[in-house]
Each structure stands twice: as C-alpha cells, then as structure tokens.
Amino acid sequence: MKKGILYGIGAYVCWGFFPIYWKSLHQVPATQLIGHRILWSFLLLIAIILFAGQWGEFRKTINSKVIRIYSIAAVLIGINWLVYVWAVNANYIVETSLGYFINPLLSVLLGVIFLKERLRIAQWIPVILASLGVAYLSYVYGRLPYIALTLSVSFGLYGLVKKISPLGPLHGLTIETGILCLPALFYLIFVESNGTGAFLHTGPTSALLMIGAGLVTTIPLLMFATSARLIPLWVVGLLQYIAPTLQFIIGVFIYKEPFSHEQLIGFSIVWIALIIFLVENYVATRASAEPLAELGEG
C-alpha cells in the first residue's frame, strides 16, 4: 500500500506543477502545444508497448467498437487539454484549479444521471454545497466560471467513458492519442508550411519542452494507473486534491493572479463541500468494511 501511495502522490504532484511547465512555453500557441503533446505522447506510448512486448496483444484489442468508444474519449480529453493549456497561459490558473476541485463532485452527479447510481442522503449535501459555491462565484465573476466548468465537465465525462471502456489505461490512452495524432500532425505540418510553426523556431529549450510534453503527459498517467491498483479508492480520492491545491498555490503565490475576498468565500464553500464529501466517503467505506472483517475473523 505504501508503494501505491507514493505512486499516487508522485502522479498528483506532477499534475500540480503542470502550470509551471506550460507557462515556460507561453510563447507557443496553445493549439500547437496540444498538437505536440498528442504527437509525442502517442510516440512514447507506442515505444512503451513495443518495449513491454505487448504489440501483438495491443493490435488484437482494436476493433470498430473500441474505436467508437475511444473516439469519444479522445475528443473529451483533447478539449480538456486544450482549454487547460490555454487557460494557464492566459493567467487563469486559479480558475483551472476550481475545475479540478469540483470535478469529483460532478463525477458523482454524472454517475447518478448516466449510470443510475444512487447517492446516500449525506452525499447530496456536498453536491448541493458545491453548486451553491459555483453559483456564488458566477455572481462574483459576473459570468459563469466557464473555464472551470469546461475542465470539470470534459474530464468528468471522460472519466465516465473510461469507466465503461474495455481496455486498460496504457492501451486505452494509446488508442486515444492515436485517434488524435493524425489531425494533430496535419495541423503541425500546416502551421510549419505557412511560417507560423513554433517548433525549432523559438529556441532549443522550447523544442525540448515541446517534445517533453509526451513525457509529462504519460508518466503521471502510468503512475496513477499503478497507484489505483494498489490502494483503496478513498485514498485515491484523498490524494487527488494535491493537484488542484498545488495549482491554486502556484496561481496565487507564484504568478500573482488576483484572488479577492469574494472569490475566497466561493472557493471556501467548494472546499467545505469537498471536506464533507471525503469524510462521508471515509466513514461509509469503513462502516461497510467492518462487517466483512468480522465475517472473515469468524
């Protein structure tokens, strides 16, 4: 379990420091960054599959049904990546963190709507509280927090699709990036041909960081997949708040994004909802585990 926790912490810390990585590429348009992120991630994932001797097994998994399911997942993760990178470089890091704070609660709601899952009465409290927090922040901003909502909805729906998908994380992500790779490659060739491409034109550091986008995308995902197999779900749920917390701290204290008292009230409502959500889940998990433990001892 200790190994699983370390992998989980590693994955979420990597995601938490993503804003610094993408900020270092602020001179590159977000669409080109995502093109490179897709391209290099796909090539790295293919290399991992080949190195692991899984190519034959991987090829057998590909059929029309798998392509349909993962095409939906690919579109959703593509939207999520594009909005996130654009928002970070447009100085909306704090709002992106809000998206990932409310994402778990939205995922619960999506489970109710699409999977007919039932919530315990106590689980409705954080969902309602988070909705009130978003409504209050909409009033404060004078608009819906559309960046946060786009990130949470796209990633929540992505998680929903992955929940009903037939493949493991490595093969699934390879197919997703493979589906996105061709249009990404055509786009990168197009911007290069019309003289607006950034790759190899903004210095060697930028070029290396664009190639490195494949590493920083793939490694945390594989660490997370390993962690999720080794530790209980409630521990995964607890660890996932490392990333948006780090993003929030980076946005406010490193990049000095404005954060008013009114925003603090709205965020605090969401944070209280998350605390209630985590405590309720922990108590319910322990309560359901105790009878099983007693049965095993008997």
Tokens of 184: 């990404």
pLDDT at residue number 180: 96
Instruction: Give the Cα separation of 29 and 27 in Å (integer).
Output: 7
pLDDT at residue number 241: 85
pLDDT at residue number 1: 61
CB-based burial label for 219 (10 Å; 0-12, 13-18, 19+): middle
Q: Is 196 helix (H, G, I), strand (E, B) or coil?
A: coil
Q: Is 92 helix (H, G, I), strand (E, B) or coil?
A: coil
Cβ atoms of 1 and 172 closer than 8 Å? no
DSSP readout, 148-207? Answer: HHHHHHHHHHHHHHHHT-SS-HHHHHHHHHHHHHHHHHHHHHHHHHTT---TTTS-HHHH
pLDDT at residue number 292: 40
Sequence spans of domains, the chain: 2-297
- Residue 288 confidence class, pLDDT cut points 50, 70, 90: low
Across the range 53-80, mean pLDDT stands at 94
- Residue 297 confidence class, pLDDT cut points 50, 70, 90: very low
- Whole-number mean pLDDT of the chain? 88
* Top-ranked range on mean pLDDT: pick from 81-85, 129-133, 193-197: 81-85
CB atoms within 10 A of CB 39: 23
Least confident of 8-12, 175-179, 254-258, 282-286: 282-286
pLDDT at 294 over 70: no
Q: Is 63 helix (H, G, I), strand (E, B) or coil?
A: coil
Scan for tokens 């509280």, then name that residue.
Answer: 129
CB-based burial label for 231 (10 Å; 0-12, 13-18, 19+): buried
Which tens digit of pLDDT belongs to each residue from 154-184? 988 988 888 788 888 889 999 999 999 999 9
Helix 121-141 to helix 93-114 angle, to the nearest 10 degrees? 140
- In this prediction the pTM is 0.87
